[in-house]
Structure 1
Amino acid sequence: MLYGITAATAALLLTATLTALLRSFSLRLGPAEGRGLPARRARPRAPGRGRPVPLLGGVAVAGTTALVGWAGDWTGAAPLGPEAGRLLVAGIAVALLGLAADLLPVPPVVCGAGVAVAAALTVPYDELGVPAGLLAVAWVVLVTQGFRSLDHADGVMGTVGVITAFALGACAAAELMDGLAALLSVLAAALTGFLMHGWPPARIAPGRCGSLFTGFVLASAVVLVHAERPAGTGLGAAFALTAVAGADAVLVLVSRWRAGRPLLRPAPDHLVHRLRRAGLTRQGVMVVTGLAAFAAALVGVCIDLGWLGAGAAWWVAGAVAAVAVVGAVRPGGRPRRVHPHAIPAPGGPVPRSLGRPGRPRPEAPGAVKVH
């Protein structure tokens, strides 16, 4: 117990410090000087005054989680065990793949294939069997991509990740999986330290490195915790614990299929984009998704502990289905196409086809970032 508190505190402080250092380093050597470090342009407060937001926050989250987790295993204070140790190694491999995608133009299909390979090496086939194990691999890839999609808005991925990690850590502790519970508590603390800088308006973002690492570790941990549970209880709890990320993935798949668009092409049709277009502020989007994640995770923990039946997951499934259907039919099903030469430069004059000429381009109230 004492080591868990010490490890969580160390992870929080170390991540907060390392994130600040990485942000300073990125801004010194970032794209503004043409040296290629990853950053995205934040929503400007005035025309032409956007600020760069570095994408190296995930390095701090993944690095701190690995360092503190392996320190506990090496000292014997909190041994990870073979399953949690293998999960951490695979998670670091996924984080490195995400970092490469942040630095280089790696196609999304390559990231998905890398996550699938890592999941295939982590899933416990002895408990699940080969058919169920392959389905678990596909589910891990889907949930991981869902967490990647949540990074389209400041603070959302980190908030949902913290809530999910704490809830899943409680489930792992109840199953006497102490090593996995310790790893999840360290991850939750690391994400909390990152949120000290990633709170909207974010000064640094987790990028693919942090979002893929977080999503993969959480999705794989859900499989490990519930591998030996009865099918109904295990599936219900697993679905509820990752409902927000799953809702985003289902929403994107349904809306792009209905619109006839490629499934892997980036577009502003994710859950956070739709919430922004509905009129929510950046802080509002984070609060709404955080509350939804908390409610769904609470249902998942209650199912796991036997306080609710597996049928309670249908409440969460109904909410996810409603969000997917309404979101696919209502705002933002297909983004408006504009000729690329008709898009003005930030702060520049607006062409006649887009507005009154000679005046700065106004910023749309629901402007969102797309990666």
Structure 2
Amino acid sequence: MLHGLAAATTALVLTALLAALLRTLTLRYGRTGHTTPHLGGVAVVLATLGVACAGPLLGVAELGEGVAPVLAAAGAVALLGLVGDLRPLGVRIRLGLRIRLVAQAGAATAVVTAAGLSPGAGALAVLWIVCVTNAFTFLDHCDGVMGAVAAVTALGLAVCAIAERRPGHGLLLSVLAAALTGFLLHNWHPARITIGDCGSLFTGFLLASCAVTVHAGEPGGRTGAELFALTLVVLTDTLLVLVSRTRARRPLLRGGGDHIAHRLRRLGLSAQGSAVVLGVATLGCTLIGLQIHDKRLAPVAALPLALMVAGAIVLLLRVPVYGPDARRRTPRARTPANPAASSTSASTSASIDIAGGRS
């Protein structure tokens, strides 16, 4: 317990310090073309990997069975995201996206193989890991949203890992949650730095891979219902965006102000309020997932959640996000005193969601 608390505290402080340093260096020397530095994910990755690997090196804690493959694969995915942050894909978006998905599938396959899943269950697990990884990339569009949702999800999965007698995974997920909290100190509205592809891909992949590894011994309906609840908010946001752009005949990978947080803002919530609402919603879904995991709720308890998702999507689709109606209903944001700290949460510029960049 003391080792876990010390590790989490170290990750939080280290991420906060690294994020501040990276922001200063990027503003002084960087030529990324972004008003707000977008390399905050590097701080999350370095703090998480550094603290997780420090335990075995110092002899105070062990990684535990199955943690090393997850860390290695997540680190590889983070490097892939960092390349995208430093060298935007631009017109090579389709080729770059294919390469990224193949690399993610390869990393997920390594994790699933190490977990010992059967070929059928392993194929489904790989697909799920890739989907969740990119869903978290989609979620990096408004100040504080991705960090809040991911931190709550990581804590929920940490509880599951400890209950399944996998303390190594529990410690790793706790360290990730703490690192994300330290990052939120700089990413809360108005954001001074964003997480970028490096951090969002690393976070999504690590969460999904840990979830698969922790539940590898008991695949089935209960596990599926639990994981559905734990990732409900991030997957709902992705589904909403895909349905909305398909209906509007817009390119699926082209960014826009059509995520849940954007629609909540057009309904009158502030940027901070939107992040809080999504964080609280994630907490509620996480608690239901934990109840399913502890067998206090039957897997059928996920069915009302699915119905709520369908209803929420139908209602949110009625909020105008494209064209002049959306511009008239978009709340006017205050301009920060420091232009370099301006938030991108209400931006509807033409950027790429899944392949890099906030919309």
Q: TM-score, normalized by length of structure 2?
A: 0.85
Give runs of ≥4 in structure 1 deviating > 6 Å. none
In structure 1, the partner of 2:26 is 26
In structure 1, the partner of 2:306 is 317
2:53 equivalent among 48, 51, 70: 70
Structure 1 runs not aligned, ≥5 long: 31-35, 40-51, 338-346, 348-365
In structure 2, the partner of 1:181 is 170
| Shift of residue 124, structure 1, vs aligned partner | 4.3
| Structure 2 residue matching 1:265: 3-state secondary structure | coil
Q: Which amino acid aligns with 1:29?
A: Y
| Structure 2 residue matching 1:261: 3-state secondary structure | coil
| Structure 1 residue matching 2:36: 3-state secondary structure | strand
In structure 2, the partner of 1:368 is 347
In structure 2, the partner of 1:58 is 41
Q: For residues 104-144 of structure 1, what are the alpha-carbon distances to aligned partners after superposition, in whole Å with 9 as ceiling and x for unaligned? A: 12334433332222112112476532122112211111111
2:289 equivalent among 297, 300, 311: 300
Larger CA Rg, structure 1 vs 2: 1
Q: TM-score, normalized by length of structure 1?
A: 0.83
**How far apart are the structure 1 equivalents of 2:299 and 2:3?**
34
In structure 1, the partner of 2:3 is 3
Matches within 5 A, 1:127-166: 127-166=116-155
Task: Tell me if 1:283 matches 2:275.
Answer: no
**1:150–1:272: 8 Å Cα contact kept in structure 2?**
no
Q: For residues 270-307 of structure 1, what are the alpha-carbon distances to aligned partners after superposition, in whole Å with 9 as ceiling and x for unaligned? A: 22222222222110110110011000111111111112
| Structure 2 residue matching 1:54: 3-state secondary structure | coil
Q: For residues 203-247 of structure 1, what are the alpha-carbon distances to aligned partners after superposition, in whole Å with 9 as ceiling and x for unaligned? A: 111111111111111111111122222511100101111111110
Give identity over the alignment, percent.
49
**1:152–1:369: 8 Å Cα contact kept in structure 2?**
no
**How far apart are the structure 1 equivalents of 2:253 and 2:112?**
25
| Shift of residue 328, structure 1, vs aligned partner | 3.4
Structure 2 runs not aligned, ≥5 long: 326-334, 336-344, 350-357
Count of aligned pairs: 326
Q: For residues 329-362 of structure 1, what are the alpha-carbon distances to aligned partners after superposition, in whole Å with 9 as ceiling and x for unaligned? A: 5422x5569xxxxxxxxx9xxxxxxxxxxxxxxx
Matches within 5 A, 1:1-371: 1-30=1-30, 36-37=31-32, 39=34, 52-106=35-89, 107=93, 108-124=97-113, 127-332=116-321, 334-335=322-323, 367-370=346-349, 371=358
The structure whose RCO (Cα within 8 Å, separation 6+) is larger is 2
| Shift of residue 86, structure 1, vs aligned partner | 0.7
